[in-house]
Amino acid sequence: MERSADTELRELLERLHDTYNRPEFIPDDPISVPHRFTDRADREIAGFFAATIAWGNRQTIVRNGHRMMRLMDDAPADFVRNASERELVGLDAFVHRTFRGCDLRDFVLALRRIDSGWGGLGAFFEHSYAVTGDLAATLADFRRAFFAGEHAPRCEKHLSSVERGAACKRLCMFLRWMVRRDDRGVDFGLWTAIPMSALRIPLDIHAGNVARTLGLLTRRQNDWRAVEETTAALRRFDPADPVRFDFALFGAGIDRRLTL
């Protein structure tokens, strides 16, 4: 009996997922930064910062993510909550592409407000999702809350706006880390109040090109509408956990690139 194109695509996605959703994937990926920690708040904050700088060369992202943690005394939650002005000035030496020490300081202070007002990143996201039932609305809520306090306008470019149609790749990746749970040990599964089915695929130029090659995406722009289209296509293969195939989109291109 002739095999359908969907069957062949499903087998490819499953094979790539099995290849890359494994502990051996961790050390060379930005997720290695939050994996340094065991405390929930440390993992949330380390993960947020690692995702924030996740563009460019993967090795550089990982190296700079670990450097950022060292600047926070390898205690990111305590640093966010309690760092003195002198300690915040110590962040000025940090640079990752266009994300600079001044941006890092503003992000630390924004997270301090989130932590003080909501009890942590996870508490904010889980509460917002409980109210809205919609991930896009939750991402919009988070960006508004994040920039509600005093900050330099230049740092706003480092947190994408779903309301402006951005793909929000780094935020979607961070949410995958925090929400997804399985027995593989890569993602953390900390935020159990958000269902895995609500997650959206982290879509950048590379994942978008792979999705188009595989027939999962027809839209030409890599924007939020493309994210929704790709995620909807992946739900055909796993409605409860479509974003596990993020590993497959990554894996399909990894032999040809070392960038995110």
The DSSP call for residue 168 is -
Boundaries of every domain in the chain: 5-254
Tokens of 40: 């929930």
Tens of pLDDT, residue by residue over 85-131, are: 999 999 999 999 999 999 999 999 999 999 999 999 999 999 999 99
**In the chain, what are the helix, strand and coil shares in percent, each to the nearest 5?**
65, 0, 35
Tens of pLDDT, residue by residue over 123-182, are: 999 999 999 999 999 999 999 999 999 999 999 999 999 999 999 999 999 999 999 999
The DSSP call for residue 100 is E
Predicted structure pTM score: 0.95
Tens of pLDDT, residue by residue over 198-223, are: 999 999 988 999 999 999 999 999 99
Residue 255: pLDDT band with limits 50, 70, 90: low
Tens of pLDDT, residue by residue over 12-38, are: 999 999 999 999 999 999 999 999 999
